């Protein structure tokens, strides 16, 4: 068992709202070959960097978050959800005429029908404001997470500023195709497709090992941890490649699993655990969260129960 209660994490990145709308079909419509439905459940959760935050808190750590929302209904809902977690929202920049990113997932009889995405129309010109907030919030932190969903808040200039002005390990969940802006970071956690896109090479991960090590060395990134969904994770550290096998989970729901991985990884590293052990524990956390539905998180009790032999 390990106590995360003294770990302070600074999370920076795109925040969003994930909505889930469940309906059940009553009968077929006489007007067209479509079902008549009635709504019976709707839920909304913090997504993106907000879900990373939820995972850190539910695992017993402490965190502050820097992000932006629009001055719209969804933005107000995001603030409301943050306040439920007793989070100080002073570092959430409110931007006029910007749509807060949100994803609406619709289900009929538990089957997914479609997803509606509304992405932020991010306004530039806030760099100086973001820089000041970052420097203020950096105090008393142990590690920095960049939750980059490529929605605009983490522009390349800001990312480079964070990495160059932080004396702490910076862990990045990358979404940009060009990894150059993440140069000198402590760890990247791309999935297989993201690393393939960064290399512009869509061969299997095994065939890409030399290219990944070369990229890591060129960008002076200490570690790259590639997440492989149900197959586990692969650590590229120095010239070594280490594979970590995941548990077999029936009908996994991978929504937000990457957020759980980076949250748990940061907590373990900041607690003094080495990277292989931190990855093994994070895999356990991921196996728990993919067994749940929707944008979800792992609790400290759940993690302790299934990974006590790893601590």
Q: Please give the positions annotated as active site.
A: 259
135: which strand partners? none
Q: How far is CA 228 from the centre of its chain?
A: 15
Q: How far is CA 149 from the centre of its chain?
A: 8
Q: For residue 85, give Cα distances in angstroms to 80, 120, 241, 289.
A: 9, 23, 38, 19
Tokens found for residue 65:
């978050």
The Cα–Cα gap between 71 and 82 comes to 15
Question: What contacts 145, CB < 8 A, 6 or more positions away?
Answer: 9, 10, 11, 12, 13, 49, 52, 170, 171, 172, 173, 262, 263, 266
CA atoms within 13 A on the CB side of 180: 2
The closest of 77, 80, 79, 109 to 91, measured between CA atoms, is 79
């Amino acid at each position: 068992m390990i106590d995360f209660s003294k770990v302070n994490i600074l999370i920076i990145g795109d925040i969003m709202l994930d909505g889930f709308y469940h309906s059940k079909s009553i009968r077929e419509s006489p007007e067209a070959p479509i079902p008549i439905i009635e709504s019976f459940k709707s839920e909304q959760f913090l997504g993106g960097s907000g879900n990373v935050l939820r995972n850190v808190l539910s695992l017993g750590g402490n965190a502050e978050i820097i992000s932006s929302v629009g001055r719209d209904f969804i933005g107000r809902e995001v603030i409301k959800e943050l306040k439920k977690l007793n989070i100080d929202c002073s570092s959430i920049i409110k931007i006029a005429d910007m749509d807060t990113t949100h994803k609406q997932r619709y289900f009929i009889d538990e089957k997914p029908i479609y997803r509606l995405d509304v992405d932020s129309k991010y306004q530039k010109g806030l760099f100086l404001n973001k820089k000041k907030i970052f420097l203020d919030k950096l105090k008393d932190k142990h590690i920095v997470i960049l939750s980059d969903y490529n929605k605009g808040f983490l522009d390349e200039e800001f990312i480079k500023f964070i990495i160059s002005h932080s004396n702490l390990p910076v862990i990045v969940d990358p979404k940009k195709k060009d990894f150059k802006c993440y140069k000198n970071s402590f760890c990247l956690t791309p999935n297989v497709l993201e690393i393939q896109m960064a290399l512009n090479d869509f061969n299997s991960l095994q065939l890409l090992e030399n290219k990944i090590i070369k990229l890591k060395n060129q960008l002076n990134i200490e570690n790259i941890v590639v997440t492989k969904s149900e197959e586990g994770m692969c650590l590229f550290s120095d010239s070594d490649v280490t594979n970590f096998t995941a548990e077999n989970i029936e009908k996994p729901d991978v929504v937000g699993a990457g957020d759980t991985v980076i949250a748990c990884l940061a907590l373990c590293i900041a607690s003094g655990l080495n990277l292989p052990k931190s990855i093994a524990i994070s895999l356990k956390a991921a196996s728990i969260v993919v067994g749940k539905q929707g944008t979800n998180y792992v609790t400290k009790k759940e993690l302790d129960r299934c990974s006590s032999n790893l601590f």
